Structure 1
């Protein structure tokens, strides 16, 4: 993927600026090599939880924030749907900050897949977690995953290997984590059906995926802590999931022809 690629829409979430495991350099490279008509920030852009524990704001994190503001100033529609780690910003729903619109949730008319509802995804936590103890154990386990991820990739860089998400690899091989992700996705699809929309876009669980089930599109754009992923809509209507680190590749896609078969999209 060389040069600058233009998309109709880009979805980013779970950037976690202010958190030491944020892969800001990879995101900066992605933002410098892509343009779009619509940029959707689907929560946890700045990690206020981490900032309360320890102030961490390197130059690369400020550069990401500046790049997002610059997109808005250049005429791109930038929509920001705050998540749980930046939930304070939910109080400012309906406001505009330097061209960036803040909304509690947002609906977008995609080219091929109809009306897509955007939520961060913490709304579905009740479908995934079982009590406070389970939540605490999960947080501690996630911290361990990121610790492993950090050191595995330091070792890989020493030997000249590219970035690889050890955290995502391990998470997908733990049966309880896999089951929790499935419950989250199912809850999101049920919500889309209840709201009579054609699809739902979220983040939150740091697990990029696309499913097209019972005429409903589930799209999770992933994160920039573990997997370095974004969702994009091409001008043709095709929706793709991209991985972007020191290597770039398409990891999944849905062609617009699918809607001809199902007849769901407007």
Structure 2
């Protein structure tokens, strides 16, 4: 199928929250995306592997293995691959500074854009008070999220039957529920402040599964989204323009949707 689709090459791709090992992971979609998109540098911005899910029960279908092999092949062919672990793959935090299979594992890093602007690349969970101070509650919330994903898929099975487009319960809730909106806003402000502390012009993160590009108070906040529901990646073009690419609708795969785009300048 990839031979029928035109390749799109970027300067940089940022991917987060794939959650390999969790039943909700859309690794097959991401593998399809990577067959059609390439980049000189690929950042894995945390929660690529879901260690929490794997501790509960082992789930590792062929699509998850294929995705790992695809990344390793890209690294062997010359792509620079940088892995910034998150809370679900925190076991990799014991390996900061190591290099395996062509992939560098780092705590966080600075990405320099075409125009020289510097972006702090970090997963973001260390600024989530629930994850840091009430891990039991974070795990409970993770289970509730998995249940919502399963229910959402059932709803969308009926929607497909009637020819209605995909609808995301959790994305709707994030936009409509006051506490969720406040949480996202606080998270964005905290990450922007962390970027300032590092002397950076912006921040690129994941963690909250909500893709966006936002400029506030001279700081650019960019979130990669996730590959559980939204299936989004952040891409940097050769001219410095940043774009969020959504890869959920099979009818649009020949021309991925630019949900949000912004120039680096």
Indicate if the aligned counterparts of 1:112 and 1:238 stay in contact, CA closer than 8 A: no
Residue 122 (str. 1) matches residue 125 (str. 2): yes
- Find the partner of 1:250 among 229, 235, 258: 258
Classify 1:225/1:127 alpha carbon distance in 2 versus 1 (closer, same or farther; 3 Å): same
- Quick one: which of 26, 38, 42 aligns to 1:39? 42
What does 1:115-264 align with in structure 2 at a 5 Å threshold? 115-126=118-129, 135=138, 138-245=141-248, 246=250, 247=252, 248-256=256-264, 259=265
Shift, 1:123, TM fit: 1.3
Q: Which 5+ residue runs of structure 2 have no aligned equivalent? A: none
Mapped to 1, the partners of 2:78 and 2:233 lie a distance apart of 20
CA distance in 2, matches of 1:41, 1:74: 17
Aligned to 1:89: 92
Q: 1:110 to 1:46 in 2, by over 3 A?
A: same
Contact 1:113 1:217 in 2 (8 A): no
Q: Which runs of 5+ in 1 are unaligned?
A: 260-266
Q: Is the 8 A contact 1:153 1:163 kept in 2?
A: yes
- Map Cα deviations across residues 185-215 of structure 1 (whole Å, 9 max, x no partner): 0100011112211111110010111111121
Aligned length: 257
TM-score (norm 2): 0.90
Give the alignment's Cα RMSD to 1 decimal.
2.2
1:141 positional shift: 4.1
Work out which of the residue numbers 11, 15, 19 in structure 1 matches 2:14.
11
